[in-house]
Structure 1
């Protein structure tokens, strides 16, 4: 646990961020979960034992982490912003029944072509959201 804490501190410093307890807590929380939480879910998780963070603090910490490339925003549903500490290129699977979200490795998706898109458009980045039913909800 202490090694992970040292790694988080060094990572924040290497990106030029001041290491505040709130940034540390938000980043640590995201690194230790796979569910792509909303800011509200992060707030609830961090304040579970004793309320110490406000919603504004969570949002400003997430923005700082996003701005230096340690966290990315994931928009998988209209009007809901989720956060992910996995900033490597990957796609997402979202279950239509339970709403769970899972990462799909970039290399697992083949055959994407942009050669027939409208002239004048230049693709420099893309991400897929695959929807279906997960094995926990399957019939």
Structure 2
């Protein structure tokens, strides 16, 4: 546990972020999850024991973490921002029944040459979102 905390502090400092208790808590929460939570879900988790964070603080921490590349914002449904501490290239699957979101390895799809999309487009990155029904909902 102490080793993980030390690693988080080092990563924040390496990215020139001030280590505040709230920023540390938001990042630690995201690193411990695989469910791509919303800011509201993170806030709820952080305030379960003792309310100490505000919605503005969580959003501010997420924005700072996103700007330095420690987390990414994932838009898988209209009007809902989710956050992911896995910043390695990967795709997503979203179940249309229960809403579960799972990572799909980057290698699962053939690469797209972004330079060949169409003249005039300067594409920088892409990710695939697969929507369907998960195995739990099929039963």
Alignment of 1:47-58 (within 5 A): 47-58=47-58
State the distance in 2 between where 1:40 and 1:63 align. Answer: 14
TM-score, scaled relative to structure 2: 0.95
Contact 2:8 2:24 in 1 (8 A): yes
Unaligned runs of 5+ in 1: none
Write 1 or 2 for the structure with the bigger share of helix.
2
Report SS of the residue matched to 2:52.
coil
Unaligned runs of 5+ in 2: none
Which residue is equivalent to 1:27?
A: 27
Q: Kindly state the Cα deviation for residue 124 of structure 1 after the two structures are TM-superposed.
A: 2.0
State the distance in 2 between where 1:92 and 1:68 align. Answer: 22
TM-score, scaled relative to structure 1: 0.95
Which residue is equivalent to 2:3?
A: 3
Which residue is equivalent to 2:129?
A: 129
Paired positions, count: 139
State the distance in 2 between where 1:112 and 1:94 align. Answer: 21
Alpha-carbon displacement from aligned partner over 1:26-55 (angstroms, at most 9, x marks no partner): 000000000100000000000011100000
State the distance in 2 between where 1:66 and 1:54 align. Answer: 18
Q: Kindly state the Cα deviation for residue 116 of structure 1 after the two structures are TM-superposed.
A: 6.4
2:74 matches 1:74: yes
Report SS of the residue matched to 2:130.
strand
Q: CA RMSD in A?
A: 1.4
